[in-house]
Amino acid sequence: MDIIILLFLIFLSSLLSYPFIIKHNKLHETIDKPKLPPGSMGWPYIGETFQLYSQHPNIFFASKQKRYGEIFKTHILGCPCVMLASPEAARFVLVTHSHLFKPTYPKSKEKLIGSSALFFHQGHYHTRIRKLVQNSLSPESIKKLIPGIENEVISSLESWISIGQVVNTFHEMKKFSFNIGILSVFGNLESNYREQLKENYCIVEKGYNSFPNRIPGTSYSKAVLARQRIQEIISEIICKRKEHRSIEKDLLGHLLNYKNEKGEMLSDEEIADNVIGVLFAAQDTTASVLTWILKYLHDDQKLLEAIKAEQMAVYENNDGGKIQLTWSQIKNMPLTHRVILESLRMASIISFTFREAVVDVVYKGYLIPKGWKVMPLFRNIHHNPEFYPAPHSFDPSRFEFAPKPNTFMPFGIGVHSCPGNELAKLNMLILIHHLVTKFRWEVVENQSGVQYSPFPIPLQGLPTRFCRIK
């Protein structure tokens, strides 16, 4: 009897090992279990992280796509990942099925920004905070920032001249972008608060991409302490505003004045987390793109002359720059705008975005297991010759017509796209205007290499010498 039972169990297990057979209208249909996408998981533990950061991102991603197709797996930054390199896949993950994929960041980075920051969330909390940020960065709101941005641009350019020597363009653009971030969040903030925030933010930034440990004296432990000080500074600013009952239209004002349907306000901690999140999101990305714009224009003198002609017409119309730029003038710089769009495409500062599958997902017949990271590859899409002929050539004319849907995503798409994209482009347009009408620049040791900090930038931050046009 025991032998019969054993044989039956063996027979049953063998049946379970075969694909399921389903009867439907007297037809037999075999359903195979979805397989993982093709690809390499690299070395144990470290995966292919070294390959990713030791090569030009175009080479790493393009070689993978060429070998495996538009869906492939890998293992980077300690995580198993599925990479998706088509516009349809990006839309699937970020728009139509975004509820199946949650934003994900390492806990060490989340701690330095703050767990209540907008981009760590989805659902109701994300929706209401995003609306507040969008309102503070809407065209109607950022119009009012033009005089302040112009002042920051002129001050930055003058400082590069006064140095009288070669400057690291990327580092200087970071300072400029941070100041604009402060302006958009706090308005005209007192200089002592601005300096305190800048000093502590620099410490946090240095520790953000360092090895996360709490040993005293390490970059990460210093960053954690600096992050606490930033929260204390923001709490003090909030306290002053409440005392004076200030009603400002900047981001801090929108966050302070918010009440939900129960009449509950955001806590100081929630406000601080979102303020720091906006500053982080605004600085390196904008600075990287501005650095690339200077390189692209420097390398194409014919294009630079065309940009100058467009901007000089505005300059002369404003009595030789004595009158401030207007919103309508800034929105009517078509060639300069196309240069910005092409720079965003070429540089693809955000090469990909991280999501995590919250359930097992099947896409195009491939399994994306629950808990795996999912990475829509913006860079691959931006450099696909099917959508952008001769993709490695800098050609702003390609943006004379709108690109195909979901093929141009420098600020992401869907509910987690960057709400500050209009402010970023405004900064770029104003800086380019003042730069080409009043100054000239020379790139020193001009090379074609790329380095990462962690975003791709020209080698050595694009060493440049600036001087005034005589």
In a domain, 241, yes or no: no
Q: What value does the mean pLDDT take over residues 62-67?
A: 89
Task: Identify which has the larger pLDDT, 13 or 196.
Answer: 196
Q: What value does the mean pLDDT take over residues 253-260?
A: 88
- Residue 25, pLDDT above cutoff 70: no
Q: What value does the mean pLDDT take over residues 220-237?
A: 94
Domain of residue 155 covers 2-187+248-468
What value does the mean pLDDT of the chain take?
Answer: 87
- Residue 427, pLDDT above cutoff 80: yes
In a domain, 384, yes or no: yes
Q: What value does the mean pLDDT take over residues 195-209?
A: 91
CATH number at residue 46: 1.10.630.10
Percent of the chain with pLDDT over 70: 92
In a domain, 232, yes or no: no
In a domain, 23, yes or no: yes
In a domain, 213, yes or no: no
CA distance 253 to 267: 13
Least confident among 181-185, 353-357, 453-457 = 453-457
Q: Which span out of 14-18, 20-24, 378-382 was modeled with the highest average pLDDT?
A: 378-382
Res 249: pLDDT: 80
In a domain, 35, yes or no: yes
In a domain, 204, yes or no: no
Q: Which of 101, 100, 65, 59 is nearest to 85 (CA)?
A: 65
Task: Identify which has the larger pLDDT, 366 or 215.
Answer: 366
- 371 close to 377: Cβ distance less than 8 angstroms: no
Task: Identify which has the larger pLDDT, 274 or 21.
Answer: 274
- Per-residue pLDDT tens for 123-178? 888 889 999 999 899 988 999 999 999 999 999 999 998 877 899 999 999 999 99
- Residue 29, pLDDT above cutoff 50: no
Work out how many domains the chain is built from and give that number: 1
CA distance 419 to 426: 13
In a domain, 234, yes or no: no
- Give the model's confidence band at 57: pLDDT under 50 very low, under 70 low, under 90 confident, else very high: low
Task: Identify which has the larger pLDDT, 338 or 44.
Answer: 338
- Residue 7, pLDDT above cutoff 60: no
